[in-house]
Amino acid sequence: MSSSISPLAPEAFPALPEIGGVTLRVARARYKNWDRCDLTFVTLAPGTAVAGVLTQSRCPSPEVEWCRAALPLGTARALVVNAGNSNAFTGSRGRAAVEAIAARTAAHLGCQPSDVFVASTGVIGVPLPVDKAEAGLDAAYAAAPCSWEDAAATIMTTDTFAKGARAEVTVAGRPVKLAGIIKGSGMIAPDMATMLGFIFTDAAVDPAFLQQALSDANSATFSCITVDGDTSTSDTVLAFATGVAGNRLLDSNDVEGAHEFRAALKDLCRELAQLVVRDGEGAQKLIAITVEGAESDRSAHRIAMSIANSPLVKTAIAGEDANWGRVVMAVGKAGEPAERDRLSIRFGDTQVARNGLAVEGYDEAPVAAHLKGRGVEIGVDLGLGEGRATVWTCDLTHGYISINADYRS
């Protein structure tokens, strides 16, 4: 956790609503030499539905494998998250630690271990100490309930600020609340989601429908961000629906309020995803990249991510240099259909290249002014079809190198 807050951070942590059936607690398990809590323990009402999206890394943590096995069952009673140790690449010792955490939590709550969801973040390759895990769980179970901000701060690693978002929607005449917390700052280029994110709602939602809604939201939000092109071994986003709101069960798009719920969930996910990019390691600028005119949405997404992950593009933005040639490079290397003589590029509202050529005599003054701001927009039109995508990233500064050169020390 950095002592210097990102210049892109919100002014304050938002006021998140209480979610019926959700109780938050934190404790200090001392996984790392931090003078703060590092374990978040969330208890959930019986009957809570769960859905999730998990890393596509071929070297996932035992926690990811545990969640992947439990998700098809569709129910949850608890969430346990630790920071400071990812427990990834730890073999049988890591798996044993996850099993011990789930078993001890289940014993406290009188539920099945498969009703306990577990996530970890931190250094790779160090087995999670079972004795610290169990002592931390016992301390958390006995602790007084805490705030959303406390829970969000506890799951941080190199994050510079706690991240949370809220949404409210009416489902068949009943008010429904959503709240989410997330952590992430580096190793962000997810194939599914980003680092660790947890969403809670008091809506009554069928697990299969919740999974459908979360997967759909993910494709336009968490899977559209990148900080450094690296996908974590531990990326996990879970959504929990307690049903305490008492609305008619959302189990298909035909139920009144289903579309509104899905829209609210997507808005919440987008806000959480952008908070991660705003806290990108060393970030000074938030960059939105929109690609249109592609042969398909998928093709547009791949091209946009190629631009967003380019160190040359990201360092040019850090230096406030409208080097659109680097954008051309990133489009060309994406491996997707593109025709040089149809390609157009803009920075902010200013077109700098059109139909494969620099715009003759374009005014650089508004471009320079745009690049000096905290928010930068890059637009690309391929002129080939109707495909469109927007992704978000940040600039690449010396700060990123400093943070990651010293990560284990």
pLDDT at residue 185 in the model: 73
Residue 2 has pLDDT above 80, yes or no: no
5 lies in some domain: no
Residue 194 has pLDDT above 60, yes or no: no
380 lies in some domain: yes
Q: 75-85 and 387-394 as β-strands: parallel, antiparallel, unpaired?
A: unpaired
- Is residue 109 located within the same domain as residue 186? yes
Would you say 177 is a known binding-site residue? no
pLDDT at residue 402 in the model: 73
Residue 85 has pLDDT above 70, yes or no: yes
| The pair of three-digit structure tokens given for residue 377, joined into one six-digit string | 């927009």
Q: What is the DSSP string of 80-99?
A: EEEEEE---S-HHHHHHHHH
6 lies in some domain: no
- Is residue 249 located within the same domain as residue 322? no
- Is residue 157 located within the same domain as residue 118? yes
11 lies in some domain: no
- Is residue 189 located within the same domain as residue 248? yes
Please state, in angstroms and as integers, the Cα–Cα distance from residue 48 to each residue in 171, 241, 254, following that order. Answer: 18, 5, 22
CATH number at residue 187: 3.60.70.12
Over range 273-288, report the average pLDDT. Answer: 91
Domain range for 43 is: 22-278
| The pair of three-digit structure tokens given for residue 13, joined into one six-digit string | 């942590």
Of 278, 297, 320, the residue that ends a domain is 278
pLDDT at residue 248 in the model: 95
pLDDT at residue 407 in the model: 53
Over range 354-376, report the average pLDDT. Answer: 93
Angle, in degrees to the nearest 10, between helices 258-278 and 207-220: 40
Q: What is the DSSP letter of 198?
A: E
pLDDT in tens, 379-409: 999 999 999 999 999 998 887 777 666 655 4
CATH number at residue 341: 3.10.20.340
pLDDT in tens, 26-70: 999 999 888 899 999 999 999 999 999 998 788 889 999 999 999
Report which of 394, 386, 372, 389 is spatially closest to residue 331, judged by C-alpha positions.
Answer: 389
Split into its structural domains, the chain has a count of: 2
Would you say 386 is a known binding-site residue? no
Would you say 314 is a known binding-site residue? no
Contact 141, 40 (CB under 8 A): no
Contact 239, 250 (CB under 8 A): no
pLDDT at residue 406 in the model: 64
Over range 117-138, report the average pLDDT. Answer: 93
Residue 231 has pLDDT above 80, yes or no: no
* Catalytic pick among 121, 154, 194, 236: 194
pLDDT at residue 56 in the model: 79
- Is residue 94 located within the same domain as residue 235? yes
117 lies in some domain: yes
- Is residue 249 located within the same domain as residue 380? no
Residue 186 has pLDDT above 80, yes or no: no
- Is residue 134 located within the same domain as residue 271? yes
Would you say 163 is a known binding-site residue? no
Residue 188 has pLDDT above 80, yes or no: no
Would you say 315 is a known binding-site residue? no
C-alpha to C-alpha distance for 148 and 333, rounded to whole angstroms: 43
pLDDT at residue 341 in the model: 95
Would you say 154 is a known binding-site residue? no
The torsion of the CA quartet 16, 17, 18, 22, rounded to 10 degrees, works out to -60
- Is residue 86 located within the same domain as residue 232? yes
pLDDT in tens, 285-310: 999 999 999 999 999 999 999 999 99
- Is residue 274 located within the same domain as residue 359? no
pLDDT at residue 81 in the model: 97
Least confident of 24-28, 182-186, 237-241: 182-186
Of 234, 249, 278, the residue that ends a domain is 278
pLDDT at residue 21 in the model: 98
| The pair of three-digit structure tokens given for residue 117, joined into one six-digit string | 């969801």
332 lies in some domain: yes
C-alpha to C-alpha distance for 138 and 92, rounded to whole angstroms: 24
Residues above pLDDT 90, as percent of the chain:
81
Report which of 148, 144, 146 is spatially closest to residue 15, judged by C-alpha positions.
Answer: 148
The alpha-carbon radius of gyration of the chain (Å, integer) is 22
Of 230, 260, 278, the residue that ends a domain is 278
Residue 1 has pLDDT above 60, yes or no: no
Residue 315 a catalytic site member: no
Residue 178 has pLDDT above 90, yes or no: yes
| The pair of three-digit structure tokens given for residue 3, joined into one six-digit string | 């002592």
